[in-house]
Structure formats: structure tokens, C-alpha cells
Amino acid sequence: MKIKRIMLIRPGIRFPRKRFAQPLGLLYLVSVLRQNFPGQFEIDLVEQALYKLDFKQIKERIKKFNPDLVGFSCLSQEADEMAKISHIVKELKPECLTVLGGPHASVFYDCVLEKNNIDIVVIGEGERTFPELLKKLLSGEPIEQVRGIAFKRKDRIILTPPQKPIEDLDSLPFPAWDLIDFQDYSWMISTNAYCHSVPWAVIFTSRGCPYQCAYCHNIFGKRTRFRSPENVISEIELLVNKYGVKEIHIVDDVFNLDILRAKKICDLIIERKIKIKIAFPNGLRGDIMDKELIGKLKQAGCYAIGYAVETASPRLQKLINKNLDFDKIRQVISWTADEKIITQGYFMLGFPGETREEMEMTINYALKSRFLIAFFSLVAVYPRTHLMEIAKKAYPDFDFDKWNDKLDMANFHYFTEEPFYKKATGLDSFKIQHSAHRRFYFRPRQIFLILLRFPKNFFLIRGIWWVLRNSFISLYKFEKSVFYSHKMKHET
């Protein structure tokens, strides 16, 4: 098969709550292609939501580039856009090969192959699988020999054995940062929701998580693999010195799982006098933190840390396999606040079987804590998670087949217009969520501390709007009407 031009697309539309991050998966993929096939491919990277590209613009770009292979990477909430673009690809060039990777592909590979114009799905980490797939395609050898893929043949889905995890993460080249215009990201809503200094970049320093939380899809596996501190620092220095990055967002599942390694990274930043601000949008595991690491993080430039509490109900903590040590995390939150680091609390409301009293326990926990910022999300019950099985036990009379058929993948996220809990119980979880935000933020002392500690820049103004928007239902409904009118216009 002849493959000269490869177009890599991150699909999705921009809407008021969308958070942006550089497409790390695709950037790593470009780097390994350059490493394995030097000078062999012409590559075009397309970021749909960042540049607000409508389908007409996407179509023109595909026409102009004339790709031989189009690769997608997307979350489930971006699957609708992926499906529409893959249809455009096949309409323009039926022989063009379409390949999907990323979180949505890894979980819903069979649905993708049944319903979308996708030829091959890459499951799990793609840095080893995709080059192997390309070699087979270029040589005409059977792709069945490639681990970690799925494809259809004669209306039958073929799933090959899983690809082995990449053990030595240091062996991977750094992402193709030269393809990114960091200034275009600077004023977008980052994964951290706000920034201290721009431009910013997201980085992974490890992959995998050993915990068994019921709501997790387990994309990178349960055994954590780490990049060496020296390798991490080399990438940070590249971002700072070559690309002018002033802030990094570390998006590991559990950055502090190896405490000694985390401290070593901080020590190297301090020793080399790297001027950088650091935030942890995905949060750190609070009950395994220690005071020394918090101090080192502060010295290294950390200004914001999130801790995922999820629920203050001991029963639910056990049910969802979070099993957080409340006494320890309360102490850790205090240590973090003492260092004048912005403490963010992540909470979830509406777990299957959760009572109104248990929600109140969670809200009260946030109110009594030293969290500067609290995010109250509504639980999304994703198919193919343990949480879905919990939901089926909690609501045996609920029509889950109808629910899954009714909701397209675009609604499987924490900002869905139709929360599962509301549908299953009749309780208006939106009202509870808005009430939680009002009670947390509209306190004189909280307002004073936020104004004192929060970065004094454009993001403070945006943060005030975010609080207002998430505290009053009328504003939320206004936002929805704007979003859906934009979406309809976008789709036409």
C-alpha cells in the first residue's frame, strides 16, 4: 500500500466549558513516525476545536492535503465529530485509510467499527502499535500480526492480542512540540481551568494507575511506569528554553505515587534554577502525600494542586473503591494551604445509590476544608466501567439499554445536559450542584482568600464568571442555549 501523506486529526467542537490541552497522543505519534520513518511521510496536524474549524473548512483542508491515511484521536465526547469527519474522508477519497486511537477507541473499539467509517482501531498506547501497523501496510503483510488493533473483515470484528505496555518511557522521543503554536493555547481554558503564567504546556511524567476506582476506564493500565527525573527535566528545559513555556501542567494519573522520584524532579528544577510554574490538573493522591514533598513542590514553582476527594461518604468511598484516608487528606490539605499553594478540591455528586444526605456530607466536607477552590461535578456513568455495574444493581428497574441508545457519546461527560442520577431518581442534580457552588464560593472569607491568592490576570475574571455560571441555573440554561445554537450552526 502506498502511504505518503498522513493527516492526524483531533476532532471536537468548542463550547463554553471545554478545556484544552495540546494533543499529546498525536504529538508523541508524530515523533515516533519521524524516528522510525525519517523523511518518509508528509504529516498534517489538525486541531478542530482549538481553531473552531467547521466541517466545510475540514473538508477543504482534507481536499487540499489529499491524505493517504487519516488518523484520529478523541475522547468519547468528541466521537460525534470524529464520525462526521471520517464520513467526509470516505466521501472525498474512499480508498483513504482511516485509523482511530485514543481513549474512545480503546474502550469502544467495536462500536466504532460497527457505526463509523473507521478501518482500523488502535487500542491502548499507540507509539509502538502504529509504526508496526504502518510497516505491515507498506509491505503488504497481514495486519493480523500487529498486536493491539481491531478491524473488520467480512462483517466480523477481528481483535488482535493486546500490545505490551511500553516499559521504558525514556525511550520515547519527546512530543513534536514544533507543531504547536503555544500562543494559540495561552488564553484557552486549560486543563487546570486557569493559569498563573502563559504560555503553558501539558506533560506526562508517568503512565498507569494502581488504584481501582469504579468510574475509571483504565486506559494506561494498572501498573505505573515512570519516566526518569532526568528525562522529565530535559523536556521541561526544552519547553522553557526553546519554546518559551512559562507554566507546565502535569497530567499524570498519580504523579506522587513514587514520592522519592517526585522529590527528585523538584530538586532538579530547584538546582538548575528553572523558572517555571507548575499545576496538577488531574490532582495528586492526597493521602499518600508528605509535608516535605509539598514544600519542595512550592520551591520548584508549584502554585496549584488538586486533590480528588470525590465523596465524603465512607460508604460510597468503599463502594467506588476510592478508599481515601480522610484524616490524612485533611492534614495534607492544611499543609498545602500553609504553603500558600492554591488547593483545589474535586468532588462528584450523584453516584448510583447516593442519598441526598450523602451529597450533603460531601458539600459540608468541602465547606469545612481549607480548599480554596472546589469543583462539584455530576457523576457520568460510563458504559464498560465498574460504576455501570454498580448502577445496574442500584436501579434494577431502570432501562439501561434505552438510556445507552438515547444518549450519544457526546453526552458521556461531566457536563452532560441529562445527568444519569436525575434520570434514575428524579432528583434535580443540577440544583444540588448549583447550590453546592453557591454555598462554597459566596462566603465573605472565601471571596477574600480567592482574591488574595488567585493569580491576578485575565483568568481571575474568567474564574469569577465560572463561579457565577455554575452557581445559578438561569445562567447555565443561557449557556446551554448558546452552545446548542452554535453546535447546530456548526453541524450545518
pTM to 2 decimal places: 0.91
pLDDT in tens, 134-145: 999 999 999 999
d(CA 307, CA 59): 42
pLDDT in tens, 393-423: 999 998 887 766 544 554 555 556 678 898 8
From 414, 392, 383, select the one nearest 310 (Cα to Cα): 414
Please, are residues 35 and 22 in contact by the beta-carbon 8 Å criterion?
no
Structural domains of the chain in order of their starting residue, each with its CATH number: 5-159 (3.40.50.280), 181-491 (3.80.30.20)
One-letter identity of residue 427: L
Please, are residues 390 and 353 in contact by the beta-carbon 8 Å criterion?
yes
pLDDT of residue 31: 98
Least confident piece of the model among 230-244, 291-305, 397-411, 417-431? 397-411
Would you say residue 244 has pLDDT above 50? yes
Distances (CA, A) of 270 to 267, 290, 299, 301, 330: 5, 19, 7, 9, 28
Residues linked to residue 157 through DSSP beta bridges, in sequence order: 152
Given pLDDT bands bounded at 50, 70 and 90, which one contains residue 27?
A: very high
| DSSP symbols for 436-479 | HHHHHHSSHHHHHHHHHHS-SSHHHHHHHHHHHHTT-HHHHHHH
Give, as one character, the DSSP assignment of residue 190: B
pLDDT of residue 189: 83
205: which 3 cell numbers? 511524567
Q: How many CB atoms lie within 10 A of CB 405?
A: 9
pLDDT of residue 404: 64
pLDDT of residue 405: 58
Please, are residues 389 and 383 in contact by the beta-carbon 8 Å criterion?
no
Residue 452, C-beta contacts closer than 8 angstroms, at least 6 positions apart: none
pLDDT of residue 411: 52
d(CA 490, CA 11): 13
Please, are residues 188 and 52 in contact by the beta-carbon 8 Å criterion?
no
Would you say residue 230 has pLDDT above 90? yes
443: which 3 cell numbers? 462566603
Would you say residue 479 has pLDDT above 70? no
